[in-house]
Each structure stands twice: as C-alpha cells, then as structure tokens.
Amino acid sequence: MVAITRGTLARKLQSSNKTISTVVSGTVRKQSTKKKTRTVKQCTLSSSSNSTTSPPLQLYNEVAGKSNIIGASKYDLYGNATGREYDLGRDGAFRAYNILIAQLYSDVPFDDVAMQKPIDELNVKGFQVKHVKTEDECIKELASNRYEIAWIISTSRIQNSKFISALTAFHSTGGGIFLFADNPPYTCHASEFLKTQFGITVDGCYQATQTLTYKENGHQQTGNFGQHEIFTGITHLYEGHTICHPVYSTPESRTALLTIATATDGNPCIAVYEPPTTSTEGRLCLDCGFTKLYIDWDSAGTGRYIINTSCWLLGIEKRLK
C-alpha cells in the first residue's frame, strides 16, 4: 500500500505546478443532547457578523458552519465554491497563534516539498508554524508552552517513552491536537494517544480513493460527511488513499469521539473530540488517511478541510472568555 503511495507522490510532486485548490464543506450536528448543545453554541459564535461582532466572530468568515455555498462566483471541478471567503477562518486573523507540526512519518520522497503546501496555507491564515521530524524535538517544543495546536503525523513505532505523556500534558492544558494516521503500521502515535485517553485504537487498511458527499445529518452514513464547522465551504471531500479506522474497546469508548465523516467502506474516517465546557482539555480531530497531506492536497476539499480543522482546533471561543 505504502509503496504505491510513495510512487504516486513522486510523480505528482515532480509534475505538478498547480495552485492549491481551495475547497469547502459542511457542518455535523451531534446526536446526544449534551453534544448538540455544544455544536449549536459553536454555530452561533460563527454566524454572520455585524456591528456587535465579538472577537471570536472576527476570526471566522460569515459562512462559518455552512457547507453548501449558494451563489458563489465560481466553483472548482469538484463542486466546491472557490474563494478564501468560503473558508472557516479569515486570512491573516490568526497571527497570535502557533502550530507545531510533528511529521514523524517521513519516509516519503520530497516530503519537505510536500509539507510546504499546508504550511504555506496556514501562514496565509496568520498561523506561525514550527515543523519538526523527531519525537525528541516535538517533546521539547510541546514543553515550551508556545503552541496552541499540535499536528501529530504518526509513524510505525514510538521511540521515546515520554512522548505520549508529553502529548497528554499538552492536551490536558488546552492544546488542540490534529492526529493523523494511515494504514498500519503508520498508526502508532495516534493509536497510543487515543488508547491512553479514550480506550480507542486505530487499525485497518482500506484502499479508499473515493470522494465523500456532504449530507446535513449524514456523518454516520457510508460515503458521507455531515454538518460541522470543519467542513465549512465543502460539499465534496476526498476520503484518503490507504486509510484506517477507529476500533472501540468498550461501549463507553464509542461515545468519546464524534464521527463526522464515514468512509465508503462504512467505517469512520474523521472524528472529533469536543471537551466538556468545564474541562481544561483542548479539542481533537482524528484523520485516518494522512497521505492526503502528501499526494492528494489538490483533491476534493482537502486543503480547505485541513486548514478549517486547524482553525477550529484553536477553540477560540473558550480562549477569549
């Protein structure tokens, strides 16, 4: 599986000079009453701005939470509205915030070149980005208290026994985490963290490569994603290449994360954690197909989804209270 991915990457990176496509998506409603209340709060905070707009609202565009964009001047070849005004976050609005990218899986040709696309797009939103490639560097940076968000791109094994405890400490004090996994064995960091926190692991290798479709309440329906701020401006979203899925150890663990997108094999492929309002924890998003960062950035909705998620993980509503 991975050999195919690497070959595809090399060909795409050597031949592509295209501008990064901007993509859009929708917003999922949680099913339980408790979680639905939190989702409604988020949508209220990101509604259309006016003269009384509060600071959190100014970070989001007026379309925040809307997947279907009606009346856009242009749509891309996947049917997503083009234009940065259809992203979740406003350009340049996040200059006060920092993201740590820990690219622990690096066995990809030209991976520095490939990772530059997401970094450039984060910079457009204003984020300051630090890119590291080892657990030791990641642990050191997490301990600096400089970062509001950490991307963790899993690889095949954990080398530093302190890594998970460092990531747990970061999350417990409000750090947002974007967990990326792929086909085994490149699931280790995401799986170990989720097992420690929620009793969840990730496994499986589905040769996906299809496009998911927005459906307002379709987050648990095969081949669909539902309504959530992460999917602002996106009606069609690439599901990934060789993807895994969550495995739940107990009935309780099934309620820890909210599935917001279901792959074409019927398994969750994107899930989020929204901490209780009284918790000091940060938000979390699990993505089960990290090759989209390397070889499929220009596919349906990928770029917009990744950047939208980073803006959402900040949890700005709680930070500015």
**pLDDT tens for each residue of 273-320:** 999 999 999 999 999 999 898 888 999 999 999 999 999 999 988 877
- Side-chain-side CA neighbours of 21 within 13 Å: the count stands at 24
- pTM exceeding the 0.85 threshold for the entire prediction: no
Q: Where in the chain are the domains?
A: 2-319
Residue 35 confidence (pLDDT) above 50: no
d(CA 132, CA 142) in angstroms, rounded, equals 11
Average pLDDT (173-187) is 97
Q: What angle do CA 140, 120, 319 make, to 5 degrees?
A: 60
Residue 190 confidence (pLDDT) above 60: yes
Instruction: Render pLDDT for 209-235 as a digit per residue (tens, 0 to 9).
Output: 999 999 999 999 999 999 999 999 999
d(CA 110, CA 132) in angstroms, rounded, equals 15
Q: How far apart are the first and last CA of the chain?
A: 46
Average pLDDT (103-124) is 84
What pLDDT, on a 0 to 100 scale, did the predictor assign at position 311?
A: 98
Average pLDDT (67-95) is 97
What pLDDT, on a 0 to 100 scale, did the predictor assign at position 295?
A: 84
What pLDDT, on a 0 to 100 scale, did the predictor assign at position 110?
A: 56
Mean pLDDT of the chain: 85
| Candidate CATH numbers 3.80.10.10, 3.40.50.880, 3.30.530.20, 1.25.40.420; the one for domain 2-319 | 3.40.50.880
- Confidence band for 51, pLDDT divided at 50, 70 and 90: very low
Average pLDDT (255-262) is 97
Torsion of CA 81, 87, 92, 96, to 10 degrees: -170
Average pLDDT (18-26) is 35
What pLDDT, on a 0 to 100 scale, did the predictor assign at position 114?
A: 78
- Confidence band for 49, pLDDT divided at 50, 70 and 90: very low
What pLDDT, on a 0 to 100 scale, did the predictor assign at position 55?
A: 45
- Confidence band for 76, pLDDT divided at 50, 70 and 90: very high
User: What per-residue string of b and e applies to 31-57 under the rule 16 or more CB within 10 Å gives b?
Assistant: eeeeeeebbeebbebbeeeeeeeeebb
Average pLDDT (257-278) is 97
